[in-house]
Structure 1
Amino acid sequence: MDKKLIGVDLGGTTIKFAILTADGEIQQKWSIETNVLDEGSHIVPDIIESINHHLNLYEMEPEQFIGIGMGTPGTVDRAAGTVVGAYNLNWKTVQNVKEEIEAGTRIKFALDNDANVAALGERWKGAGENADNVAFITLGTGVGGGLIADGKLLHGLGAAGEVGHINVEPGGYLCTCGNHGCLETYASATGVVRVARDMAEEFAGDSELKRALDNGEEISSKMVFDLAKQDDILAKRVVDRVCYYLGLASANISSILHPEYVVIGGGVSAAGDFLLNQVENYFKEYAFPTIRNTTKLKLAQLGNSAGVIGAASLALEFK
């Protein structure tokens, strides 16, 4: 019987699980709420309990699995199988995740950073088409990413692929990392709103977006993109500014990596081709000529499944 994989995508509100074939096809999916109380001490026991419960449910044994792979927020020591500094999970101290999950499930376990595993998922079964060189940018509350070169995820000394902290505007907006002008401060969901607020102050024309901001209404990045699609002049300028930074960053990443694909995912990417086409225009303006003609920008295809699929692929090392 062909052995299976388990993928776990650990998030601040939800933990997603999947059982997959060794070829990355999802066969079962489920999720549980993330209990971050008591300094996150319930999270790992909950993961173990949920896996064991579902193996019983599906009448499966640990021996039927190649391994478990998990994506997690925080700083990951892959060799030790530990996580530290995952503040949205309340994990302030070192968590011996690998040791505990292997003991609790009797299945081999591997883990990596959540943005990295989403990159692996898109590369393996999504827009990356299993290419050897893929850059992944995810636009959510922040901006994350993962870089795959010659078929391997780049880690460097641990923080490789932090594309959200590429500086695109020296002296620009203050970032949570302490620097000014990081891509994350402009191209994340919160960044788009920040750009809109600033540009609205200097804008004097007719715009629904400006009226909403002047009236103190709550706006979202989705609203900005929707209004831009309806030809709202201020919204179009905001989107153009955001796409400029994304195109510039994509060109810079590609100059170092020369990937086959730059894949853009996350919530903001729901704006679709309207976003992609404008990013591509700036990418072509700033990219090195050889790269401009060979690297292709694409939208992510796997949505919420990228994390569990990429996480499961980590366990292939046990084959």
Structure 2
Amino acid sequence: MAEKRLAAFDIGGTSIKMAFLTTEGDIIRKWSIPTDRSDSGARIVGDIARSFYAELAADGLTTVDVLAAGVGAPGPADPIDGTISGAVNIGWQNGYPLKKLLEEAIELPVFIENDANCAALGEMWRGAGSGAGDVVCVTLGTGVGGGVVSKGMIITGVNGAAGEIGHITVEPENGFLCNCGKHGCLETVASATGIVNLYKQEGKEAPDARTVFEHAAAGDEAAKRVIDRCAFYLGLAIGNIANIVNPAKIVIGGGVSEAGEALLLPLEAYVKQFTFPRAMDVLSLEKAQLGNDAGVIGAAYLAKVMTV
């Protein structure tokens, strides 16, 4: 009898990445479908179910052959009832009952987690954090996402809001306004958007963060200062996280991390400056390895540990 597989769904604002995986975390097959955000996202669950059943049938299988499904979703996920809050980019209202609706639609156990937390689980299980049960993942994209893994499990907090690394206050006075309503959040100065914010503060314009890094490489002193400030703010936040949770690895991912050593070298220096020496003794800074697969691999891991 063939080993049961895991199903994984990573719900994004543009597309939903879907996959079948082995219980060891190997991807059997993956695909994606568009995210239909019309009618406040009311069609998303049905679209996932139809695609899931079609792909399962294509393999000559039924739900009997699937152990469970894990889901990464935008917004805080309630660890108890699997509801989603704050997923405004796809139209779901606070308390959207994603777990309940998906379990009814695909007739399997479903386990829900925030998408950034799933990416952290994926990197811990099969990526840059492999072999370490205590990992912090920081994703630098349009915003700053993150997840904190301790002893192989995500720290969720009381209502799923733990690990909101992008909303650590790093500029307590005169900081940029964040989408969350606070000022001075990490993502206002360390995301792709934040780097452009800092460059504008230098009196210069750039269409995106990549251009700022290119200007720095060409000798632009303002761009160099921006990258150093970005690394400073990130190092400050990461150092304080390390002091609290004492991880073995900090994994840096997302589009901004593609700048490579131009960001990571100054970041390492600032992390060392702000981290308690004993915590620093066991800490390494790693670049994420799984790319767009991190979310489905982490969602599968969640389904596995919650059922096996």
TM range (shorter): over 0.9
Map of 2:192 onto structure 1: 189
- Structure 1 runs of 4+ aligned residues shifted over 3 Å read none
- CA distance in 1 between partners of 2:100 and 2:207 (Å): 44
Maintained 8 Å contact 1:276/1:298: no
Bigger shift: residues 290-299 or 115-124: 290-299
Residues 296 and 180 of structure 1: is their aligned pair in 2 closer, same or farther, counting only changes over 3 Å?
Answer: same
Map of 2:207 onto structure 1: 219
- CA distance in 2 between partners of 1:305 and 1:254 (Å): 26
The 5-angstrom pairing of residues 35-184 of structure 1 reads: 35-157=36-158, 158-171=160-173, 172-184=175-187
Cα deviation digits, residues 77-129 of structure 1 (max 9, x gap):
23222223311011125332222222222222111111110110111110111
* Structure 1 residue 318 corresponds to structure 2 residue 307: yes
Map of 1:206 onto structure 2: none
- CA distance in 1 between partners of 2:232 and 2:201 (Å): 16
SS of structure 2 residue aligned to 1:67 = strand
- CA distance in 2 between partners of 1:291 and 1:77 (Å): 30
Map of 1:309 onto structure 2: 297
* Structure 1 residue 235 corresponds to structure 2 residue 223: yes
Percent identity at matched positions? 47
Deviation at 1:65, TM superposition (A): 1.1
The AA in structure 2 aligned to 1:113 is N
Deviation at 1:181, TM superposition (A): 1.2
Deviation at 1:27, TM superposition (A): 1.1
The 5-angstrom pairing of residues 248-263 of structure 1 reads: 248-263=236-251
**CA-based RMSD:** 1.3
Maintained 8 Å contact 2:45/2:105: no
User: Normalization by structure 1: what TM-score?
Assistant: 0.92
Maintained 8 Å contact 2:170/2:237: yes
Deviation at 1:312, TM superposition (A): 1.0
Task: Mark the runs of 5 or more structure 2 residues left unpaired by the alignment.
Answer: none
Cα deviation digits, residues 199-241 of structure 1 (max 9, x gap):
1x2xxxxxxxx4xx2xxxx520111112222332221111111
Deviation at 1:275, TM superposition (A): 1.3
The AA in structure 1 aligned to 2:64 is E
The AA in structure 2 aligned to 1:146 is G
Deviation at 1:289, TM superposition (A): 1.3
Task: Mark the runs of 5 or more structure 1 residues left unpaired by the alignment.
Answer: 202-209
Cα deviation digits, residues 257-289 of structure 1 (max 9, x gap):
110001111111111222111100111112111
Map of 1:204 onto structure 2: none
Q: How many residues align?
A: 304
SS of structure 1 residue aligned to 2:250 = strand
Deviation at 1:54, TM superposition (A): 0.5
- CA distance in 2 between partners of 1:193 and 1:16 (Å): 29
- CA distance in 2 between partners of 1:124 and 1:102 (Å): 25
* Structure 1 residue 268 corresponds to structure 2 residue 271: no
The AA in structure 1 aligned to 2:193 is T
SS of structure 2 residue aligned to 1:159 = coil
SS of structure 1 residue aligned to 2:68 = strand
Bigger shift: residues 76-85 or 277-286: 76-85
Cα deviation digits, residues 134-176 of structure 1 (max 9, x gap):
1111111111110011222101112110111111111122222
Maintained 8 Å contact 1:137/1:163: yes
Maintained 8 Å contact 1:73/1:86: yes
Map of 2:32 onto structure 1: 31
Maintained 8 Å contact 2:6/2:68: yes
- CA distance in 2 between partners of 1:82 and 1:53 (Å): 26
